[in-house]
Amino acid sequence: MPEALTGGGDTPATPGGGRPPAKAGENPGPGVPDAPPRVVAPLDSGAGTKPHPSETRALLVTALVLLAGVALGAAGFFVERGMSTWRPEVTRTASGWRVVQAHRASLGGMALGGDDLVWGCGPSIVLMDLGSGRLKLLGPGPESRTTWDPSASQRYVVWFEAAATSAGEASAWVYDSATRRRRLLATLGDVLSLPSASGSRAAWGTTTPGGGPGIVAVDIPTGEQTSVATEYGVPVIAGDLVTWPTRAGPTGMPAAWALVDLAQKRRWSMVPAATLTNARFLGYDLSGRTLVWGETDSASGRGRVVAQNVDDGVASVVAEVIDGASLSSAPSIDGDLVIWAETLATPSGSRVMGRRLGGGPAFVVHDVDGHVLSVAVDGDTVAWLARRGQTTSIETSQVPR
């Protein structure tokens, strides 16, 4: 009977058969291959098989490392968020929102556009979604330190940024609320006016390549620029129409309005009507073909809001503020709704007023505890920026149709 091959005739058989394991460093003997290296079990989970306990422990350890990293990142995010100085206190009110300055920097440069409320806070440009109250920091970008007050249309927010106020070169940025993206719109020279946005256009005053002042209009989607005029002006745009006051006197009251229709490439001027004697100019706004402005006469204690049609020049007095009350802000117009603010004769504060050009008397939009600095209207939404002591705040309210 042939002897079973063992490979090592001098090695005694073990009780279970086969060879005993060689000790470390021991020669297994001639003709015996080295013991195979220990093989780590496959690292796949093995579909349908239960993972090895050490596999589960290994996954647990890696999950802990992952969790530690996630906790670190989340902590960094929330610490940074808590240290931000642009975040105000936001509360919902019965008629809208109340935004109160929470740090040293005052709120300013408020604008309304579509579902968004925008303002400046120090160098920060902040946007709030009026539906959710969610805040978004639009600017400045990492290379800028200075911003100018923003302007908003239904879809776009436009503002200027620069490395410094005196840099002599600024850039215009746009935020598109439809795509939630921010991008560079244009580079400009010196900032001679704030931007004004309407629809898909913006206009502003800046220095031209030749060094002189100029007014430009920009198509926001394409960035294409059109020279509106080669003169100094603080323009406001509404649709195809751009206007700016010219030949302002010492009180700021313009002697005329310059008007340019971008679609018809036509320029004309209009003399402001229904002006007060020694009127001090408060500011102006444009919607459709109607221009509105505010003026006060401190000698007579009167304030007036005037609306004037830019085509036929017909003017109407929207509001006359008398009896110790005073007009405290430039008016704002959207469609046929004109909004302004009055400081009351009593020390109880101010009130935001409204009137529809189509007819009907003026009405109180809201009483304000403090001094109203500016107002804005877009559709049925009214916003006002007010100061009380050292604190600034913005409130919004809905105007019934």
Partner 1 sequence: MTAWTRRRTPLLGEFGMRVLFWLLVELWVLNVADLLLTRYSLSLGFATESNGVMDYFFKSGTVQAVAFKLGVVTVGTLLLWRVRRYRTALFAAVLLTGVFAAVVAYQALWVLSF
Judged by CB under 8 A, the stretch of 27-35, 136-144, 241-249, 339-347 that binds partner 1 is 136-144
Per the CB < 8 A criterion, the answer to whether 396 and 129 are in contact is no
Judged by CB under 8 A, the stretch of 57-65, 265-273, 322-330, 343-351 that binds partner 1 is 57-65
- Shortest separation between residue 236's beta carbon and partner 1, angstroms: 26
Gyration radius (Cα) of the chain, Å: 36
Told to check if 66 binds partner 1 by CB under 8 A, we report yes
Distance CA 215, CA 301 (A): 35
Told to check if 345 binds partner 1 by CB under 8 A, we report no
Total residue count of the chain as it appears in this document: 401
Told to check if 221 binds partner 1 by CB under 8 A, we report no
For residue 152, what are the CA distances in angstroms to 158, 347, 392? Answer: 6, 33, 20
Told to check if 145 binds partner 1 by CB under 8 A, we report no
Residue with Cβ nearer partner 1 (184 or 364):
184
- Shortest separation between residue 83's beta carbon and partner 1, angstroms: 14
Residue with Cβ nearer partner 1 (38 or 92):
38
Which are the contacts of 390, defined by CB distance < 8 A and separation ≥ 6?
none
Told to check if 59 binds partner 1 by CB under 8 A, we report yes
Residue with Cβ nearer partner 1 (104 or 181):
181
Tokens 């001098």, residue? Answer: 10
Per the CB < 8 A criterion, the answer to whether 111 and 119 are in contact is yes
Residue with Cβ nearer partner 1 (141 or 252):
141
Among 8, 21, 141, 360, binds partner 1 (CB under 8 A): 141
Told to check if 20 binds partner 1 by CB under 8 A, we report no
Told to check if 183 binds partner 1 by CB under 8 A, we report yes
Contacts of 155-159 with CB under 8 Å at 24 or more apart are 155/113, 155/114, 155/200, 156/113, 156/197, 156/200, 156/202, 156/220, 157/111, 157/113, 157/116, 157/118, 157/125, 157/127, 157/197, 158/185, 158/195, 158/197, 158/202, 158/220, 159/120, 159/125, 159/195
Distance CA 63, CA 328 (A): 61
Told to check if 223 binds partner 1 by CB under 8 A, we report no
Per the CB < 8 A criterion, the answer to whether 291 and 269 are in contact is no
- Shortest separation between residue 375's beta carbon and partner 1, angstroms: 29
Runs of H (alpha helix) within 139-260: none
Told to check if 85 binds partner 1 by CB under 8 A, we report no
Among 13, 22, 70, 317, binds partner 1 (CB under 8 A): 70
Told to check if 168 binds partner 1 by CB under 8 A, we report no
Per CB under 8 A, residues contacting partner 1 are 38, 40, 43, 54-55, 57-59, 61-62, 65-74, 76-78, 81, 136-138, 141-142, 180-183
